[in-house]
Structure 1
Amino acid sequence: MDINDMDLMDFEDMDSIEPSRQTIRYRRRANPFLLEEPDFKSKYRFSKSFGQKLLDLLREDLAHDPRGCPLSPELQVVCALRNWARHEIQDDTADLHGVSQPVISKTCKEVAECLSRISRRFIKMPATLIDQEESMRKFRSIAGFPMVIGAIDCTHIRIKKVSADGGQLYINRKGYPSINVQVVCDADLKIMDIVTRWRGSVHDSRIFRECRLKERFEAGAFSGLLLGDSGYPCTSYLFTPLLNPSTQAEENYNRCHIRTRNTVERCFGLWKQRFRCLLRGMFGDIETAKKTIVACAVLHNLAIDMREDVFPEEEDPQEQTSSQEPVVQAAIRNTVRGSIRRRQFIETHFN
């Protein structure tokens, strides 16, 4: 059309001239909770009832502005579960659910943040005297070791190489970058306390020395004991095994101590078997990795409460935990008060 002929047109007709627009078509995403139970568990390694419980906990926090066709809370929950439990490449999870890899990465981060905010509802030490006595009873049923309310140890969670200043401090004694995670568990293998802020090169004893839980024990908040390995100093509230038992009572103490403290090793094994990302490593940023570890601890406790079966899978060689005592460093020294109380404890309960 010649621009000079514009004045010959009826200007009312110009209202009907509209630029062509491309129609945006959104891909419909199926609700994973409509799957049959075997199919759901095969895809996500947890039952539908577990997924529904998690969805009920997080639905309000995961609700988004409906514009732009975001992932529904249902899809966000199952995508995070699949990624953490199977340790699947995020591209594969994205292809399965009809989204992009950055969406899966963002979804896992948001779900981890939501779970870490409510972690105190699921990860807590026994507060009342009745709860502490029940914990002691369960521990005593294992090997006859009295007055125990928790077993403590640390485990290394592999992370990607940190290139920033101080990145070498994340290299642990085995030569790879990690976060050294301190855990206290009960006799049911539930996590009662967790610390995820320390780099892989930090020794277990320092993590406990500077944690809030130590202050609570020293303030008399608990009537029972913790059991730890020889990487910790023996104190009046944390008992470690004797390095050179010389009497039958001391050998009985060591035997019962090792069998009872092994609870935390089994807790690590079960935790990492449920969430393979803890076993094989995390490759996001450090802060997201820490929140994901806490989120997996929350889900681990919830799975125990709901009696979730562990998904059948061949055991990974890296998953094997050792019951042998670690090499004791010279800096780990028992307190005088702790040694005296341990001696009195052995004479009272193991003679």
Structure 2
Amino acid sequence: MGTVTPPAAAPNQVPLVEELGWIPVDEAGAAGVARRVAVDLARRLGFSDERTGEVAIVAAELASNLHRHADVGALSVRCLRSGDTGGVELVAVDRGPGMADLVFSGSDGTSTAGTLGIGLGAVRRLSSHSGGYSLPGRGTVLAAQLWPDRRDVGVPVVAGLTRPITGEAVCGDRWAARVRDGALLVLVADGLGHGALAATAANAAVDAFLTGDLDAPAAIVERLHRLVSHTRGAAVSVARVEAGAEGGTVRFAGLGNVAGVVASPSGERRGMVSMPGIVGHQSRGVREFTYDLPPEAVVVLHSDGVSDRWTLRDYPGLSRQDPLLIAGTLLRDAGVRRDDACVAVVRP
């Protein structure tokens, strides 16, 4: 997945994410593959030898944990860029037996596979930031973020994940976010079709979004419609989220089959309206709608590679987790394997 170079010293720039790919963990040797990919990234980003070694340990532990415990599991390796600094992010997703108490399972000496039980404890100690969400019988999502100076940037407000259709090396879906005048703007772009040409269309939409200065979702979509006409086109949605302790509002505009949902822990869902069309090619007009954002609700944008038959009621406590864990859980359970898939989540 391509990305754009972030401006140096941008105080309100959401870290940019470059997906390096998913590594299926279906045999013991997959841990070595994951370690090599993560180490190569750390070296490219200028990590010290000591810190690169810690990246290797975390990658190997997450992959080994998937192999030991998961029925179906995969590890995503991602490059984060914040200003002039780069970081490594690892996301492990599985459909294994899950854990009733993830905190206890991550304690040293706790093992269900006859090992020393130090894997998840090492992940927690060596990472700048880490977290996980697990349900018995449903599986587990674990995430670890490692920066060169061990700084903990804390839980982000927005995060997302993409996954290409089986058989493709690149994903035609992308997400991006930026801050404008204190409000968070989030985009999901689904390039028409699959493969490299779909990725080119989605990348063009993301690049235009990140380099623009408009703050109204409808105006942003209309601008993208003009700027990506040289590509095969994309379905695009943009949300502008303003939130506080007592809730807030979401302004939303979309063109094409990209979904937006305001979801509450109780299971209540409010779908947001996207107009028919293809950004760059077909549009009968873009409309912007405003929705209430209740306290504790999250905003979810996703491509049509993700089914809309999900509810947070089925995932106790998930809405209070890191947005990346929410995105990973929804991608795992609602992702349609016959299409590219993307989920972006805002947890105010």
Greater fraction strand? 2
Instruction: Work out whether the TM-score is over 0.5.
Output: no
